[in-house]
Amino acid sequence: MDQKQVVIVGGGFAGINLAQKLSRNKAFRIVLVDKNNYNFFPPLLYQVATGFLEASNISYPFRKFFQEKDNLRFSFGAFREVFPEEKRISTDSGDIHYDYLVFATGTETNYFGMENVRQNAVPMKTVQDALALRNHVLRLKEEAVKERDLATRKRLLSIVVAGAGPTGVEVSGMLAEMHRGIFKKDYPELKREEVQIYLVDALPVVLNPMSKKSQEETLAELRGLGIEVLLDHAVKDYQHGVVTFANGKTIETETLIWTSGVTATALPGLPADVLGKGKRVLVDAYNRVKGFSDIFAIGDICYMDADENFPNGHPQLAQVAIQQGRNLAHNLPIWLEGRSPRPFRYVDKGTMAIIGINKAVADLPRLHFKGFIAFFLWLVVHLFSLIRYRNQVKTLYNWMVAFFTRDQSLRFIMDAKPEKPA
């Protein structure tokens, strides 16, 4: 039997799990396409941004990962368009034909049409974003040390984090911990009271997807760290160093970290009627794109309403992407044999968020944890979710150093000041 070519666009949680499991079946030849030449672990981006982990701790090159898999190849390039009639996609490095096509491209930052925010805020979606944020925060500290005007110094040292979901909570909590300890030692010229971190959200709660108990405990911990939490505050504009809210209030700052929303990446070539809310691709219970038998979508990019426990679609979480990738890897050989596939049913393993050292919340099925237990669970889950042992060992080492010393030595400004986006 000739091998069927499966082209996977996107090497995140969904794509890498599909590729890894499907590569065990020699009936398939797999090509994974990605605009980066590495897989990375998004839940730990904020630790790269705050200098607690190196970028290499949470990243691993695809080609090295695929070395021992003779039916799995990597193609370096960004997706441009799909031509379903020709069973072909175009990328910026050439065309690729497929028997089965799987979109696992994830999401991109959503600025909700606010062009000034897009131009001036710092996003948190990629490794490049995390490194840019680290450089930006450290550079402003160096500028503040030399600044004598108190109002200007306060603007340089104020940080606004927009979006009180897990990423926003984690990055603001980590920055607050650093200001209480590390930055006090690194920058003795600066006074602690000059630094203010704001966590803002348009919703009336933090950690909206989590339990009320987790929300209340997290809010108390954030405020205990000295973070000013502003709920029911929707960002309306950001220019000339001023964040403006829909209620008319303003904050002067040189740093707006944008974690407030995501939207599905564009997929030119698919008909408009297969796109749903947030541009997510409509799929059936087997992750087939509506109207197609050979094109699939998995992970954050897709919207499935066929799971009876999630009639309004699945949350855009890593576990959903991982499980969908593995389920599709199970189903593709079954289709090839003419048997009935297994519909996707998401198994919710819980949600957790870290706030600071020994501070976290975890909502597990029928159980709730906070404090050190939740903190430890978070560390274990994220450590073993890293793609390779090398990443696990290096990350564990850095965490142990940070835990026992309350410090880390990765606070480097590594490049020239980046230009503003065009």
Residue type, 75: S
CA neighbor of 60 nearest in space, from 391, 371, 408, 407? 391
In a domain, residue 104? The reply is yes
In a domain, residue 332? The reply is yes
Q: What is the pLDDT of residues 88-136, one digit of tens each?
A: 999 999 999 999 999 999 999 999 999 999 999 999 999 999 999 999 9
Query: Which of 292, 310, 336 corresponds to the end of one domain?
Result: 336
Instruction: Over range 384-398, report the average pLDDT.
Output: 85
229 and 126 both lie in a single domain: yes
In a domain, residue 275? The reply is yes
Instruction: Over range 181-198, report the average pLDDT.
Output: 84
pLDDT band of residue 420 (cuts 50, 70, 90) is low
In a domain, residue 348? The reply is no
101 and 172 both lie in a single domain: no
194 and 312 both lie in a single domain: no
230 and 201 both lie in a single domain: yes
In a domain, residue 192? The reply is yes
Which residues, at least 6 apart from 119, have a Cβ–Cβ distance to it below 8 Å? 239, 420, 421
10 and 101 both lie in a single domain: yes
Q: What is the pLDDT of residues 317-333, one digit of tens each?
A: 999 999 999 999 999 99
Q: pTM of the entire structure?
A: 0.91
Query: Which of 228, 244, 260 corresponds to the end of one domain?
Result: 260
Q: What is the pLDDT of residues 285-324, one digit of tens each?
A: 999 999 999 999 999 999 999 999 999 999 999 999 999 9
Q: What is the pLDDT of residues 343-365, one digit of tens each?
A: 999 999 999 999 988 899 999 98
Report which listed range, 143-147, 227-231, 311-315, is most confident: 227-231
3-state secondary structure of 167: helix
Q: What is the pLDDT of residues 4-23, one digit of tens each?
A: 999 999 999 999 999 999 99
In a domain, residue 68? The reply is no
CATH code for the domain in which residue 266 is found: 3.50.50.60
250 and 136 both lie in a single domain: yes
* Euclidean distance between CA atoms 388 and 123, whole angstroms: 26
125 and 248 both lie in a single domain: yes
Count of structural domains, the chain: 2
28 and 103 both lie in a single domain: yes
Q: What is the pLDDT of residues 63-92, one digit of tens each?
A: 999 998 999 999 999 999 999 999 999 999
CA neighbor of 34 nearest in space, from 3, 59, 69? 59
123 and 211 both lie in a single domain: yes
Instruction: Over range 253-271, report the average pLDDT.
Output: 94
In a domain, residue 100? The reply is yes
In a domain, residue 371? The reply is no
Query: Which of 279, 303, 336 corresponds to the end of one domain?
Result: 336
Which residue range(s) make up the domain with 144? Answer: 115-260
120 and 222 both lie in a single domain: yes
* Euclidean distance between CA atoms 352 and 382, whole angstroms: 10
pLDDT band of residue 409 (cuts 50, 70, 90) is low
204 and 253 both lie in a single domain: yes
pLDDT band of residue 194 (cuts 50, 70, 90) is confident
Strand ranges inside 201-269, DSSP E = 228-230, 235-239, 242-245, 250-252, 256-258, 262-264
CATH code for the domain in which residue 239 is found: 3.50.50.100
119 and 256 both lie in a single domain: yes
